[in-house]
C-alpha cells in the first residue's frame, strides 16, 4: 500500500534540535516535492516548506528561515525535516505531504509525528 511512514514521537528540551523522517513505502519519491506542515495543539495547519526530491532544492516559509533544514536520501526514498533552536511553541504534530508536481496540492500525507518541547 502506498503510504508515507513517519518517525516516532520525540520529546526535546528547549534550545535543542529535532529531526523527523518521512519514508515512502512501495514507491520512489523521484520527481516529487515533499512538503512539511505542522499543527500545534488546538491550531490549524501551517506550511513550513518543501524539498524537491530530484535536486534537493528547497524553499522554506519565511517564519522558519534559518531554523529549518529539509534534506532527503534518494537511496531509501526518505525525506527529513530538522528544526533547531526549539521553543515551547514548536510543540506540534509535524506532517510530511507529497506534491506530485508543484501544482499546489498534496496528494498523500503521513500520519504525523508529535514533537513535544518541554524542559
Binding site for another protein (CB under 8 A): 4, 35, 37, 44-47, 50, 59, 61-62, 95, 97, 102-112
Q: Kindly tell me which of 47 and 82 has the beta carbon lying closer to another protein.
A: 47
- Shortest Å distance, C-beta 13 to another protein: 26
Q: Kindly tell me which of 77 and 110 has the beta carbon lying closer to another protein.
A: 110
Annotate 81-108 with DSSP letters as a single string: EEE-S--GGG-EEEEEEEESSSSS---E
- Shortest Å distance, C-beta 7 to another protein: 15
Angstrom distance (rounded) from CA 89 to CA 96: 19
- Shortest Å distance, C-beta 39 to another protein: 8
Q: Are 85 and 101 in contact (CB under 8 A)?
A: no
Amino acid at each position: 500500500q502506498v503510504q508515507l511512514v513517519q518517525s516516532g514521537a520525540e520529546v526535546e528540551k528547549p534550545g535543542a534540535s529535532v529531526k523527523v523522517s518521512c519514508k515512502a513505502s512501495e514507491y520512489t519519491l523521484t520527481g516529487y516535492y515533499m512538503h512539511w506542515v505542522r499543527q500545534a495543539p488546538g491550531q490549524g495547519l501551517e506550511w513550513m516548506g518543501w524539498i524537491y526530491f530530484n535536486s534537493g532544492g528547497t524553499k522554506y516559509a519565511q517564519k522558519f528561515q534559518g531554523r529549518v533544514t529539509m534534506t532527503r536520501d534518494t537511496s531509501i526514498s526518505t525525506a527529513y525535516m530538522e528544526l533547531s533552536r526549539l521553543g515551547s511553541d514548536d510543540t506540534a504534530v509535524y506532517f510530511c505531504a507529497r506534491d506530485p508536481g508543484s501544482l499546489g496540492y498534496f496528494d498523500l500525507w503521513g500520519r504525523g509525528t508529535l514533537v513535544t518541547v518541554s524542559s
